[in-house]
Amino acid sequence: QASQEELKAAYRRLCMLYHPDKHRDPELKTQAERLFNLVHQAYEVLSDPQTRAIYDIYGRRGLEMEGWEVVERKRTPAEIREEFERLQREREERRLQQRTNPKGTISVGIDATDLFDRYDEEYEDVPGSSFPQIEINKMHISQSIEAPLTATDTAILSGNLSTQNGNGGGSINLALRRVTSAKGWGELEFGAGDLQGPLFGLKIFRNLTPRCFITTNCALQFSSRGIRPGLTTVLARNLDKNTMGYLQWRWGIQSAMNTSIVRDTKTSHFTVALQLGIPHSFMMVSYQHKFQDEDQTRVKGSVKAGFFGTIVEYGAERKISRHSVLGATVSIGVPQGVSLKIKLNRASQTYFFPVHLTDQLLPSAVFYATVGPLVIYFAMHRLIIKPYLRAQKERELEKQRESTASDILQKKQEAEAAVRLMQESVRRIIEAEEARMGLIVVNAWYGKFVNDNSKKNEKVKVIDVTVPLQCLVKDSKLILTEASKAGLPGFYDPCVGEEKSLKVLYQFRGVLHQVMSADNEALRIPKQ
**Percent of the chain's residues with pLDDT above 90:** 43
Most confident of 116-130, 325-339, 404-418: 325-339
Whole-angstrom distance, CA of residue 425 vs CA of residue 66: 40
Averaged pLDDT of the chain = 86
171 and 193 in contact (C-beta within 8 Å)? yes
pLDDT for the residue 93: 66
* 497 pLDDT above the threshold of 90: no
Domain assignment present for residue 459? The answer is: yes
Please indicate, yes or no, if residue 189 is contained in any of the structural domains.
yes
* Per-residue confidence band for 65, with pLDDT thresholds at 50, 70 and 90: low
> Which pLDDT score is estimated for 170?
92
pLDDT tens for each residue of 172-222:
999 999 999 989 999 999 999 887 789 999 999 999 999 999 999 999 988
Q: Taking residues 12-19, what's their average pLDDT?
A: 86
> Domain end: 234, 253, 272, which one?
253
Q: What is the pLDDT of residue 118?
A: 64
Question: Among 253, 284, 314, which residue terminates a domain?
Answer: 253
What pLDDT shows up at residue 68?
46
DSSP 275-304: EEESS--EEEEEEEEE--STT--EEEEEEE
Give percent of the chain with pLDDT exceeding 70. Answer: 89
Q: Are 277 and 253 in contact (CB under 8 A)?
A: no
**How confident is residue 267, by pLDDT bands cut at 50, 70 and 90?**
very high
Q: CB under 8 Å, gap of 24 or more: what pairs does 374-380 form?
A: 377/318, 377/326, 377/328
CA distances from 164 to 111, 251, 306, 509 (A): 11, 28, 25, 78
Q: Is the pLDDT of residue 287 over 90?
A: yes
pLDDT at 475 over 70: yes
Q: What is the average pLDDT across 322-346?
A: 92
472 φ/ψ angles, rounded to the nearest 5 degrees: -85, -5
* Secondary structure class of 10 (helix, strand, coil): helix
Q: What is the pLDDT of residue 67?
A: 41
pLDDT mean over 16-29? 83
Average confidence (pLDDT) over 434-459: 79
Instruction: Please report whether residue 478 resides in a domain.
Output: yes
In a domain, residue 415? The reply is: yes
Q: What is the pLDDT of residue 456?
A: 54
Question: Are 118 and 366 spatial neighbours (Cβ–Cβ below 8 Å)?
Answer: no
- Tell me whether residue 178 is in a domain: yes
Q: How confident is the model at residue 31 (pLDDT cuts 50, 70, 90)?
A: confident
Residue 187 belongs to some domain of the structure: yes
Sorted by sequence, the CB contacts under 8 Å of residue 432 that are 6+ apart come out as 438
Cα-based distances in Å from 402 to 165, 406, 451, 499: 56, 8, 27, 18
- Domain extent, residue 442, equals 405-525
- pLDDT band per the 50, 70, 90 thresholds, residue 79: confident
What whole-number distance in Å separates Cα of residue 363 and Cα of residue 121? 23
Contact partners, residue 85, CB within 8 Å, separation at least 6: none
Please say if the pLDDT value at position 100 is more than 80. Answer: no
Q: How far apart are CA 283 and CA 258, in angstroms?
A: 10
269-291 exposure pattern, b = at least 16 Cβ within 10 A, e = fewer: bbbebebebeeebbebebbbebe
Total domains, the chain: 2
Q: What is the mean pLDDT of residues 106-114?
A: 92
149 pLDDT band, cuts 50/70/90, is: confident
| pLDDT band at residue 454 using 50, 70 and 90 as cut-offs | very low
CA 362 – CA 143 distance, rounded (Å) = 37
pTM confidence score = 0.64
Does 408 have pLDDT greater than 80? yes
- Domain end position, chosen among 227, 253, 279: 253
Distance (Å, rounded) from C-alpha 29 to C-alpha 283?
81
478's CB contacts (< 8 A; 6+ apart) are 439, 441, 469, 472, 506, 523, 524, 525
Provide the pairing of β-strand 243-251 with 268-277: unpaired
pLDDT confidence tier of residue 440, bands split at 50, 70 and 90: very high
Residue 145 inside a domain? The answer is yes
Angle at 366 between CA 363 and CA 372, to 5 degrees: 125
Give the containing element (helix H, strand E) for 374.
helix 363-380
- Ranking 84-98, 306-320, 356-370, 399-413 by mean pLDDT, the lowest is 84-98
Look at residue 324 and tell me if it is in a domain: no
CATH number, domain containing residue 234:
2.40.160.40
